[in-house]
Amino acid sequence: MFGKLIIGSLFILPLMVTPVNAGNALHLEKAIFAGGCFWCMVPPFEKLDGVSEVISGYTGGHKVNPTYEEVSSGTTGHMEAVEVTYDPARVSYEKLLDVFWRQINPTDAGGQFVDRGSSYKSAIFYNNQEQKKLAE
């Protein structure tokens, strides 16, 4: 079973997502990263060749479909995050991690840069053991 690993103030957490298959020729995978304001996390990933979609949202909490106000209040346990859909034949998970590490300060437990509060914590949500291994 997947577990949770805490490195300083960076969390590496399990996320059970099935890889997306669009026909037999293309195998897409997903990566989920929380790193402060999700709007700031979108552009660095969208620029990568091999990334087909970057969606911002909330993850890691205990309430289904929380509102922005609920997440911002710090009561739902959610973090702002991005879901990156990518073609591993064109861009590696290692490259995605490299981009992620350049966007965050993993030693800041209070948020990221000017974004303060629990919803702005950094985390990597892994989908399989390989992603977990590389994130660690």
Give yes or no for a contact between 85 and 28, defined as CB atoms under 8 angstroms apart. yes
> Tokens 């990597």 — which residue?
124
Asked whether the CA dihedral 71, 72, 73, 79 is positive or negative, the reply is: positive
Catalytic site includes residue 37: yes
Give the C-alpha separation, 44 to 98, whole Å. 11
Q: Which residue, 110, 60, 63, is CA-closest to 81?
A: 60
Catalytic hit among 5, 17, 28, 37: 37
> Tokens 């437990």 — which residue?
109
Give the C-alpha separation, 78 to 71, whole Å. 6
Q: Which residue, 53, 71, 83, is CA-closest to 119?
A: 71
Active-site residue list: 37
